[in-house]
Amino acid sequence: MTVRHVLKTMGLQGSWRIAASEVSTLMELAKVDEKTLFAELVEHAQSFSQAAISNFNVGAVCVGISGNLYLGANIEFAGCPLAQAIHGEQCAVTNAFLAGEKALKKIVISASPCGHCRQFMLELPNADDLEVTILSQNNNTTLGALIPNNFKTTLVIPDAKPLMQHPKQNLSVASPPTLVTIDGVDIPTTSPLEAEDMEVMQVYAVLAAATSYAPLTSCHSGVVLKTKDAKHVTGSVIESAAFNPTMLPLQVAYVNLLIHGKSWDDVTHVLLAEGSSNPHSASVLSPTTNILKESAVVSTISYLKLDMIQDSNDDSNHVDASQ
């Protein structure tokens, strides 16, 4: 019996996460060793890929220090710049980040990671020592070996805490949310939110922004997606020292949406909140509306400006607030 068949038997065929307590059961029922388990899980992760542009499916599996497994796949947005695609490794790391992992032990990938992903993963704790298994090359190595003489956030800010171990920020609402129209979206305008509903979305958005990882720009942003079944799915920005591999809060929220078994079709309202102590930081509003436009998600987005109160001493990492 294959790992995929066992996952179906265990009711995990659509799950992006496998708890540590389920791993041994999965191996026992599938009668596989650890190497075969990861090879089949990566293949399974590839089935989650949304490669509308490249038609190249990437799968990845991260192992958290908790022992939990986190699947990831590449996600491309048709009509958007290629730079706004989510790479498979980014997706798996984001999955672990959303689950509240403090660090990763290992990542297993279907193909050799591109420079974009190698750079992105340098934000992780003990990044140089992260074990990397490349299935297509039957190669076990480390991230430090894959990207030597690297550039990372601590070269700019020596005392910066890494992703997953970074502090939360103290943020407050600076002004009431404004409604931004997304030009060129030919879909019916969603009915306005009741004041109480908007207040709830603001709470989620501020929390998402507060748990974002933005050590270089200090531009902390978060997104909340409200779905048809009145759930709230959040995402926080994850910066990279090289800037370009940065994950927008909407990209993180979309990964979160998929983890929760939903799609763009389930989204009715979007709220973006951002605040910065840096007057020269770039806003993420424009790339956010671009993805929403090309994906024809909503015709308007609510925008909330935040103030930073003070630097936080809270070292708690992100815990997904979606519900």
Q: Which residues are catalytic?
A: 89
Token pair, residue 294, equals 């090309």
Residue with the two structure tokens 């800037």: 243
Residue 18 near residue 26, CB atoms below 8 Å: yes
Give the list of residues 6+ apart from residue 65 with CB closer than 8 angstroms, or none: 101, 102, 103, 104, 105
Tokens describing residue 166: 């970074």
Q: How many residues does the chain have?
A: 323
Find all residues with CB under 8 Å of 129, minimum gap 6, and list them: 142, 143, 144
120 DSSP 8-state letter: H
Please say whether the beta carbons of 96 and 70 come within 8 A. yes
| Contact (Cβ atoms closer than 8 angstroms) between residue 73 and residue 50 | yes
And the tokens for 298?
């909503």
